[in-house]
Structures are given as C-alpha cells and as structure tokens.
Structure 1
C-alpha cells in the first residue's frame, strides 16, 4: 500500500477505478464526479443507490453498489460500511479528503441553507435535509452527522492503512481545499482518460 500527498504523482499507468473518502461536507461527491469526467469512467452518486423517497433505504442498495464496483471502470464515493471491504478491494486509488472538522461542518451548513432555498444540488430520491433549527432536536441532523463522522471516517481510513490488507491500493491524502486544488492541477500527467469501450 502506498500513501501519497498532494504533490506526489500516482504511480499507475492507467487509473480505472477510483473512490473518494470523506465525511459529509468534504466535497467527495463533487471530486468523484470531476475525476469521473477527467478519466472518462462512469460515476453514479452513492446516494442514488442507497436512498429512495422520504429517506427510505432501498432494499437492494448493496447489490446495486457491488454491481457498479464489479465493473471495469468507475468513480464513486467511499461509503457504505456493509460494502466497504469489497469496494476497497476493487479500488486502485482512494482519495482521502482529510479536511479540518470546522471546514466540513461549515460546508454542510452552507449546503443545507442553499438547498432549503432551492439553490443547491438536488438530493437523489427527491429528499430534503431538515431545517437548521432541527439541529437541536434531531440527533441524525446532517450537521450533527458530519461532526460525528469526521473522526470516525479518519479512524476508518487509518484502519485500512494499518491493516494493509490491500497491498496494491494507492491512498492520496488531501488536507484542505488548497491541497485538493493543487493535486488536481498536477494530476493531468497521471490521471489520463481511459482508452476503452464505452462504459456508460
């Protein structure tokens, strides 16, 4: 297993399967979509597999995720504890967005406000995050969830690194938006579009 920083090139001739890890508000969906575009590989937002209307959990979400990652090429968010081991085993490059907690929390607050006023990106399943005032009454409010999952996600990635069960996995750790931007700016030489049949 190889752990890289924002200035170190990914030592692979062709990246076909890439996942992005991070707590809510880290920008993992945005980055996964951008990497999908740059690599020319399919991307489906994880939430599309997981939630139906009214935040119901789709009964076949695990099968859908596993079918996606069994494909030849893809980009995806590194989510779903029940499928995470299989996802990690199929991943060539895991981009770890290890941002400061204040940054991810502030982004979640801003994103929630934008969506409440109809200016943010839509949530799959037609769902809507609760208003900010329910932060005090809803233990599963997205802002509280982002705060809780920040340390959990860091520990989860560190466990993958410590166990070293995936010796071919490349992990890129990016801390803060400046490092993300710097990594993307340098990535043209090692994140080249895949040359393969249409995967869409």
Structure 2
C-alpha cells in the first residue's frame, strides 16, 4: 500500500493504531485525539515503561502484550523491546514526520514547563534538573535531536516487512488536525452507516 497523506481516504476503520515519531513530536497528544475520535482506549506506553526513578518496570513487556491482544487500542510506537510486536498487531500507523526544528521547539518547551512546575509524570517521576542536559547523553532534548532521523528508517523498514499496512504521513500540526477531522472521522461515520 502506498504511503498516505493527511487528506487521502483510509481503506478501513482502524482498530489498532500506532503513532510514530521522535520524542517531542506530539505522539501522545495525537494518540489521545485518535482514541477519542475512534472511541478506542489510548494506552500511554511511557506509563507502562517507566517505574519509579525512571527505571523500566519489570512487567512492561507483559503489559504491552496484554493490551495489544485486545481488539482495539491506540499507543505510541516506541521502545525496541516491543516495537516489532506492536507493528505486527497494528492495522494503522500514523507517522508524525515533523521538521527537526519544530520537534526541538516542542520538546524544549515541554521539558522546561515540566521541570519548572515539578510536574509529576509516570509513577511519580519528575524531569531531572535542567543542568543534566549538559551531562546526560540520554537527556530527552538530546535524545530527540539525535534520534530524529531514526523514525523514517524504521517506517521504511516496516513498509518493506508489511506492505499491506496502512501508513499515514503527517508533517505538521495543521495536517494532523486535517487528517483527524477528515479521513479518520469519515471512517467512524462509515462504521455507523454500516451498522444501521
């Protein structure tokens, strides 16, 4: 199947959706909106992964296998431990392919706001002190910069492995909104017409 754009019709109503993109691209925000639009549960994968002290929860893989066995869900496509499994189960992948400059603005702003507000994230974690940007090679801002190009390679590889998978490429917030309000919403309307 060819790569679809934000105005291309979807071939079916999706039930198991992955949202791909680098850190800070807006995956969780879009996944939440997709879940709301389709009336399917959004499982925030970061909440399953991060235990206290930013450690990986021992039950992470089992938790992912449990929810992904369900007939309908939406989640973010990340974490190498489960990425292939989720890709096998998905019937739609939405690729947030935003420019690096846009992603960096978003991730820096989000990180600053979370740190300054001491916002509690998954399992009581908070963003580390801002100075860690200089010393931690896996600081989220540095991670977003260094991994920006990796999503494109992963999506390309997935398209070779699963050419039948529907993949939608989104390049801006405006395109995301256009896709949500257009092609995605139309699949919901078509579903209700089919059931009547």
Equivalents in 1 of 2:112, 2:79: separation in Å?
26
**Counterpart residue number, 2:19:** 20
How many residue pairs get matched?
A: 191
Equivalents in 1 of 2:155, 2:62: separation in Å?
23
8 Å CA contact 1:39–1:194 kept in 2: the answer is no
**Counterpart residue number, 1:100:** 99
Equivalents in 1 of 2:54, 2:8: separation in Å?
39
Equivalents in 2 of 1:4, 1:66: separation in Å?
28
Spell out the pairing of 1:110-149 with structure 2 (5 A cutoff): 110-118=109-117, 122-149=120-147
**What SS does the corresponding residue of 2:169 show, helix, strand or coil?**
strand
**Counterpart residue number, 1:9:** 9
8 Å CA contact 2:115–2:130 kept in 1: the answer is no
Task: With the length of structure 2 as denominator, give the TM-score of the two structures.
Answer: 0.90
8 Å CA contact 2:118–2:126 kept in 1: the answer is no
Which ranges of structure 2 fall in alignment gaps of 5 or more residues? none
8 Å CA contact 1:19–1:78 kept in 2: the answer is yes
Equivalents in 2 of 1:15, 1:93: separation in Å?
6
**Counterpart residue number, 1:182:** 178
Equivalents in 1 of 2:156, 2:116: separation in Å?
37
Change in 2 beyond 3 A, CA 1:119/1:52: closer
Change in 2 beyond 3 A, CA 1:109/1:29: same
Equivalents in 2 of 1:16, 1:132: separation in Å?
39
1:39-87 deviation digits (Å, cap 9, x = unpaired): 1111121011111111011112111111111111101101121211111
Which ranges of structure 1 fall in alignment gaps of 5 or more residues? 196-200
1:128, CA displacement in angstroms? 1.4
Task: With the length of structure 1 as denominator, give the TM-score of the two structures.
Answer: 0.89
Flag as ranges the 4+ runs of structure 1 deviating above 3 A.
Answer: 191-195
1:166, CA displacement in angstroms? 1.8
Equivalents in 2 of 1:194, 1:142: separation in Å?
39
Change in 2 beyond 3 A, CA 1:192/1:119: farther
As a proportion of its length, which structure holds more helix?
Answer: 2
Equivalents in 2 of 1:192, 1:124: separation in Å?
35
